[in-house]
Structure 1
Amino acid sequence: MSTNTSTKKKYEFPHSFIILFGLMAIAAITTYFIPAGQYDRVEDEAGHTVVADGTYQTIESSPTGFMQLFESLHLGMVDAAGIIFFIFIVGGAFGILSATKSIEAAFGSLTQKLSGKEIFLIPVIMLFLAICGATWGMAEEVIPFILIAVPLAIRMGFDSLTGTAMILVGVYAGFGSAFMNPFTVGVAQGIAGLPTFSGMGVRFVFWLIFTAVTIAYVMLYARKVKKDPTRSLMYKEDKKRNVDVDDAAETLSKRQVAILVVLALTLVGLALGVIIQGWYITEIAALFVIMGVAVGIIAGFRMNEIANAFVKGLEEMVQGALIVGFAYGILRILEDSNTIDTILYHVSGVVADLPTAFAAIGMFVVQSILNFVVPSGSGQAAISMPIMAPLGDLIGVSRQTAVLAFQYGDGISNVFTPTAGVLMASLALAKIPWIKWMKWILPLILIQYVLGAIFVTIAHLFIW
């Protein structure tokens, strides 16, 4: 007697590349239904290239063809080349650092000293990054910190989600609710004709509440995982990681102490360079190359050992770096088909028809939608504010409130939209599937959108 047994294949989460290429295909299909159109662009007094309100016109449709869909992947990689190679270089530098085992030794020492009080490290890190995001617009610069925070969180009894959230959610809580971010508030106020960073007091109070709620959400999840690791959404994946949480604290050698000093000086140099000298990814990448070479020399590595460690670190970055190119491919499809301006034109028209009491919320919703297709803060300001500022004058919404609606609409979705290159690269480095990240962060996103709507309503009805 024979029995036939059929085994069902276990369901697997789609790979990030599959998800993003699927979104590229969806974007390509929409170009057949959304009419092509464009605004005229002009340069304002501050030198920003902005759209000219009232100049929208439909143009000949140029939907994405079959070959263009696949070409957009390469073009997206080319557009994102600066960020892609930044990730490669930083990963290589951290590969050299990792080969010295200095970080592991430092983690062992830190976990011993913070035994029983690990939870308090979360608000310290998140508040610091939220301040950086709110003041000088820190965003892309946090990518290297993922490589430190994830193993640190696991060593402390949390999980990779907690480590990633400390960095990403922390910095974007500050970036999105900023009181003086030059790339969002500064640019938007300049375009709206408002004094730079005016209304800072109100924005600071809103930032404080927004950041406190965000930190509380991460801490509650971390405490739950600390009590019962099986409740982690990444429990199985984290078990496979090469992070030994049971190791006794290692003793730092003199070489390793010197290496950690170099790392600290690098991070201080990064902050000062960005704030004082206006550094961006090219200068930061150069700084990390210098750090990698210095670390290798201090560790006593031969030149070939430094090069091999660099290559090994770079290999770890391949998926994260290429994900950015996929995200840019989606944007390239929308840009080449001239559909972004059409989306802006129609959604702003909806706001114009709303009653005054709901117009501010309408602006907030419009800016939230726009951030999916224009994930750059300053880019979204240049596209939307020349329309939203005068529209606000017509429908009774102050320009300060219009800027507030822009910054929350622009900022909140940065931590979950798959078109955000920094998010997708960070998740790839942390080895967290986007679907699992979405499952974890969705309640927080809903809370943040509610907070944003409350703040915009309060500002509209009682302050501005």
Structure 2
Amino acid sequence: MSTKSTVEFSTDPPSKFKSFFKMPHTLVIIIFIILASALLTYILPAGEFDRVEDKETGNKVAVENTFHSVDQNPVSIIEVPLAIVHGLTSASDVVFFIFIIGGVFQIINSTGTIEAVTARVGKTFMNRGLVVIPIFLTLFSIGGFTMGMSAEVMAFVPIGIAIARSLGYDAVTGTAMVMLGAASGFTAGLLNPFNVGIAQSIAEIPLFSGMWLRAILLVVLLAVTSLYIMRYAKKVKRDPSLGLAYELEQTEGKGKLDFMTSLPQLKLTHYFTILAIVLGFGVLIWGVSQKGWWMEELAAFFLSLGIIVGFLSRYGPSKIASEFVIGAKEITFGAFIVGIAKGVVVVLEQGAVIDSVVNGLFTTIEHLPTQIQVMGIYIVQNIMNVFITSGTGQAATTMPILVPLADLINVTRQTTVLIFQLGDGLSNCILPTSAMLMGSLAVSRIKYQEWVKFFWPLLFIWTVIGAVFVLIADAIQY
């Protein structure tokens, strides 16, 4: 799921490159930011904006030119642990929502439905040439924009590689059509509860609202990525020596298709699971759009969906419970990061300097053209993804500052969420701190530098596409 983390695999980049990118644990970075925030309460003058209720949205928004000083209330280092705990408790609805989501998705994963569907699609289109590339990209994008599939894609990379090789392509093609599909879906985030859901809850806008523009973004990303991979695949099929992993293909590219016969077949229980998920997400869209469902209702919905899927898969109550616990355990890091990152906001609010930070940013950019303002935020958010690799942690850290800033410069909160999700998603397929990337490379045995050579032109294209969508969103007041 979408709680990206720093991992180490045998396919790490060369030693100098690896040492240069050696990052502290995400939790350490968050704690450092909290300590830096406490220091700011001593340095920055305390102040706040007047806030009024927006008649259209009902949100409390900062009023321009109303920033004024208040009494200084610095947060000492001995108060930081209390602020962290306060952050965990104040974000408890989101934290427990993530635990429930993790448990439910593990129940779904344990049924083998995803593997069976992937195997069925792979076998059906194995001899259909280049058409398999957009089909696989689309298939895995669904996992990306619903359950935030990220590091989990490494389990499906061998299937992609086997199919690609059977068509005369290489491991790079097979890895790309699996991993980049999930990455495209994750970045678009139509129904992703981890990045878009949490960011929208912090921005206080309806959950999963604005889906239409994100759907267009998904189609564009899939189309461009399909053409990019297909162009490379045709080149490799014409002359295998032009493949970026040619040496790997010489040693491992033959006789590696046997495992396709051992993949699970679609059974009646898998069809029941698929039906339950499709109907369930229909109910989800109805609930958030018509009934205004929020965290509590969403958590109850997903919990119910998990139990239903379990019983449809002929699980007993104890089996459902044990799978739920496994999933909740695996998502613990992401859940705690959200609560701990909330400590940044707690410290800044207690020290009455969060508005001082926003005011400083606002006065720096207020006279710039709006397009440059939103591009500045877009660039900063992309940079943040290098340091905070957890999407949920990123949302909890940056959104509380971006939201009031966006209000002041007349950028909609929906556009701000779009900027966040693009910054959180675009670079995950090149950062050596990305579990999705390094895990997939470990499975495929592709060297990191080979992958970078393949992917960096597409990353540039993705980044430009993201910038265009941000500018469009700002222009139409999305």
TM interval, shorter chain, is: 0.5 to 0.7
Q: In the alignment, which of 59, 64, 70 is matched to residue 59 of structure 1?
A: 70
Q: In the alignment, which of 325, 339, 357 is matched to residue 339 of structure 2?
A: 325
1:386 offset after TM fit, Å? Answer: 5.8
Q: Distance in 1 between matches of 2:189 and 2:215?
A: 12
1:388 matched residue in structure 2: 409
Q: In the alignment, which of 170, 176, 180 is matched to residue 162 of structure 1?
A: 180
2:259 matched residue in structure 1: 246
Query: 3-state DSSP class of the match of 2:356?
Result: helix
Percent identity of paired positions between Structure 1 and Structure 2: 22
- Tell whether the 8 Å contact from 1:266 to 1:291 is kept in structure 2 after alignment: yes
Q: In the alignment, which of 286, 291, 295 is matched to residue 281 of structure 1?
A: 295
Q: Distance in 2 between matches of 1:453 and 1:270?
A: 27
1:439-458: CA deviation from partner (whole Å, max 9, x where unpaired): 9897467535753686599x
1:396 matched residue in structure 2: none
1:294-352: CA deviation from partner (whole Å, max 9, x where unpaired): 22223333322222222122222111211222332223222322222123323333345
Using a 3 Å threshold, how does the CA distance of structure 1 residues 281 and 220 change in structure 2: closer, same or farther? farther
Using a 3 Å threshold, how does the CA distance of structure 1 residues 212 and 164 change in structure 2: closer, same or farther? closer
1:265 matched residue in structure 2: 279
1:55-75: CA deviation from partner (whole Å, max 9, x where unpaired): 211222333321232223222
2:117 matched residue in structure 1: 106
- Give ranges in structure 1 of 5+ residues lacking alignment: 1-7, 130-138, 188-196, 198-202, 236-243, 390-401, 419-426
Work out whether 1:25 is the aligned partner of 2:29: no
1:86 offset after TM fit, Å? Answer: 1.3
1:168-221: CA deviation from partner (whole Å, max 9, x where unpaired): 21227999xx9xxx999997xxxxxxxxx9xxxxx97x996x666644665477
Work out whether 1:41 is the aligned partner of 2:51: yes
Using a 3 Å threshold, how does the CA distance of structure 1 residues 253 and 455 change in structure 2: closer, same or farther? closer
1:255 offset after TM fit, Å? Answer: 2.4
Q: Distance in 1 between matches of 2:379 and 2:38?
A: 18
2:24 matched residue in structure 1: 14
**Equivalent residues in 2 for 1:62-101 (5 A)?**
62-101=73-112
TM-score (norm 2): 0.62
Amino acid at match of 1:155: I
Shifted more, 321-330 versus 438-447: the winner is: 438-447
Work out whether 1:447 is the aligned partner of 2:464: yes
Work out whether 1:342 is the aligned partner of 2:348: no
Shifted more, 107-116 versus 152-161: the winner is: 152-161
Using a 3 Å threshold, how does the CA distance of structure 1 residues 77 and 163 change in structure 2: closer, same or farther? farther
Q: Distance in 2 between matches of 1:82 and 1:147?
A: 25
Work out whether 1:295 is the aligned partner of 2:299: no
1:412 matched residue in structure 2: 419
Q: Distance in 2 between matches of 1:13 and 1:60?
A: 38
Q: Distance in 2 between matches of 1:114 and 1:61?
A: 66
TM-score (norm 1): 0.64
Q: Distance in 2 between matches of 1:66 and 1:296?
A: 47
Query: 3-state DSSP class of the match of 1:272?
Result: helix
- Give ranges in structure 2 of 5+ residues lacking alignment: 1-14, 161-173, 249-256, 385-393, 426-433, 441-447
Higher relative contact order (CA 8 A, sep 6+): 2
Q: Distance in 2 between matches of 1:368 and 1:94?
A: 31
Q: Distance in 2 between matches of 1:77 and 1:364?
A: 31
Q: Distance in 1 between matches of 2:204 and 2:88?
A: 30
Q: Distance in 1 between matches of 2:55 and 2:224?
A: 42
Q: Distance in 2 between matches of 1:174 and 1:316?
A: 18
Using a 3 Å threshold, how does the CA distance of structure 1 residues 453 and 417 change in structure 2: closer, same or farther? closer
Query: 3-state DSSP class of the match of 1:247?
Result: helix
- Tell whether the 8 Å contact from 1:262 to 1:291 is kept in structure 2 after alignment: yes
1:13 offset after TM fit, Å? Answer: 4.4
1:39 offset after TM fit, Å? Answer: 0.9
1:133-186: CA deviation from partner (whole Å, max 9, x where unpaired): xxxxxx9x84455587664566333267535413221227999xx9xxx99999
Query: 3-state DSSP class of the match of 1:32?
Result: helix
1:193 matched residue in structure 2: none
